[in-house]
Amino acid sequence: MLTLLKLLKDGRFHSGEALGAALGVSRSAVWKQLQHLEAELNLPIHKVRGKGYQLASPLVFLAAEDIALNAPSLTWPICISDSVDSTNAEALRLVDAGHSAPFLVLAEQQTAGRGRRGRKWVSPYAQNVYYSLVLRIESGLRQLEGLSLVVGLAVMQALRESGVQGAALKWPNDVLVGQKKIAGILLELVGDPADICHVVLGIGINVNMQRADEVDQQWTSIQLQTGSPVNRNALVAQLGLQLQGYLERHRQGGFVALKDEWEQNHAWQGRSVSLIAGVSQVDGVVLGVDHQGALRLSVDGVEKIYSGGELSLRLRDDS
């Protein structure tokens, strides 16, 4: 089936006869494979009598050599899969198998992509970026402070470089355009954070996705924002360069060196919000973040600090 997809990736019309000859199968077998492509990979295919079959949009597959051409200074080994359950899960398996960090895991599709708090991350084939960078942390807890917020800055800048000028941050792990989510971050850690550990920087970016009925929140993509399809290899390269720069600044100065920049790009800075943890809710006004990346809220005129992976921030209706 993927061989057929690669024949169609140019976005041009191909006759059933030509596709069958290239694959060594009958035209009816080509038809069945096309049905599977649409159903399993959610890729719309135009079928025109007398012309043949055409992908609704051309596809550019992820390729390590193309990423390297766009970012020759990046030396991270890259593992690219057609399909995995999630790139974070694959990265953790590779750590367990003894792969040396840093290394990068990419996939064309995730069958069980994960967001924060166990949410599903919708991951259609060859449309978005599913990205997991593995780092070895040897200098203890300080290198983990505010790390997800630092990654958010890198993602935001990569999106702006791709033409999404309205990209902004939402504490703790989202990138928004207006009220619509365009990217999310999920960090996972194995080992002893006080000694030596590995951290997986999981990033999902909506790139060329234009439909996703399964998503249960407002969302957008780079293509929807800019009106043009994006070369994902160029985006992955730009994201790598931004991460390289921000991670080095974080390594040298800690999160405190990036705190002001993060607050300046927080979409909800100074806004009235509700902080939700399970069935509990706290209403307040966003003051910013502290030197460790925790949220600072003014609650009834008193500053309070909140952190933790199970917290969710929502705008108040009166904000």
Q: What is the DSSP string of 51-115?
A: TEEEESS------HHHHHHH-TT----EEEEEEES-HHHHHHHHHHTTPPSSEEEEEEEESS-B-
Same domain (yes/no): 204, 281: no
Q: What is the pLDDT of residues 172-220, one digit of tens each?
A: 999 999 999 999 999 999 988 878 899 999 999 999 988 766 666 799 9
Same domain (yes/no): 36, 96: no
Q: Minimum mean pLDDT among 28-42, 218-232, 242-256: which range?
A: 28-42
Segments forming the whole domain that contains residue 295: 268-315
- Residue at which a domain ends, from 263, 289, 306: 263
Q: What is the pLDDT of residues 225-243, one digit of tens each?
A: 999 999 999 999 999 999 9
Same domain (yes/no): 180, 296: no
pLDDT band at 89 (very low <50, low <70, confident <90, very high): very high
Is 180 annotated to bind ligand?
A: no
Asked if the model's pLDDT at residue 42 lies above 90, the reply is no
pLDDT for 119 equals: 63
Same domain (yes/no): 154, 276: no
Asked if the model's pLDDT at residue 5 lies above 70, the reply is yes
Same domain (yes/no): 149, 235: yes
Split into its structural domains, the chain has a count of 3
Q: Which residues are catalytic?
A: 116, 181, 314
User: Order of strands across the sheet with 197-205?
Assistant: 78-84, 103-110, 129-137, 197-205, 180-191, 174-177, 167-170
Is 110 annotated to bind ligand?
A: yes
Is 116 annotated to bind ligand?
A: yes
Domain CATH for 274: 2.30.30.100
Asked if the model's pLDDT at residue 115 lies above 70, the reply is no
At 268 the three-state DSSP class reads: coil
> 134: which residues sit within 8 A by CB, 6+ positions away?
91, 94, 95, 99, 101, 102, 103, 104, 105, 198, 199, 200, 201
200 and 91 Cβ atoms separated by less than 8 Å:
yes
Top pLDDT among 254 and 143 is at 254
User: Using CA atoms, how far apart are residues 57 and 124, in angstroms rounded to an integer?
Assistant: 14
Q: Which two tokens stand for residue 19?
A: 């596709």
Beta-ladder partners of 146: none
Is 271 annotated to bind ligand?
A: no
Same domain (yes/no): 202, 282: no
Same domain (yes/no): 178, 218: yes
Is 170 annotated to bind ligand?
A: no
Same domain (yes/no): 13, 97: no
Domain CATH for 16: 1.10.10.10
What is the chain's mean pLDDT, rounded? Answer: 91
User: Using CA atoms, how far apart are residues 123 and 202, in angstroms rounded to an integer?
Assistant: 13
Asked if the model's pLDDT at residue 116 lies above 60, the reply is no
pLDDT band at 139 (very low <50, low <70, confident <90, very high): confident
Domain CATH for 178: 3.30.930.10
Is 93 annotated to bind ligand?
A: no
User: CA geometry: angle at 233 spanning 165 and 208, to 5°?
Assistant: 55
Of 132-136, 142-146, 313-317, which has the strongest mean pLDDT? 132-136
pLDDT for 319 equals: 46
Same domain (yes/no): 203, 283: no
Same domain (yes/no): 247, 295: no
Same domain (yes/no): 188, 259: yes
* Rounded average pLDDT over 92-119: 86
Q: Minimum mean pLDDT among 66-70, 130-134, 205-209, 215-219: which range?
A: 215-219
Same domain (yes/no): 23, 104: no
Q: What is the pLDDT of residues 296-309, one digit of tens each?
A: 999 999 999 998 76
Place of tokens 């967001």: 115
Place of tokens 């069945």: 32
Top pLDDT among 318 and 279 is at 279
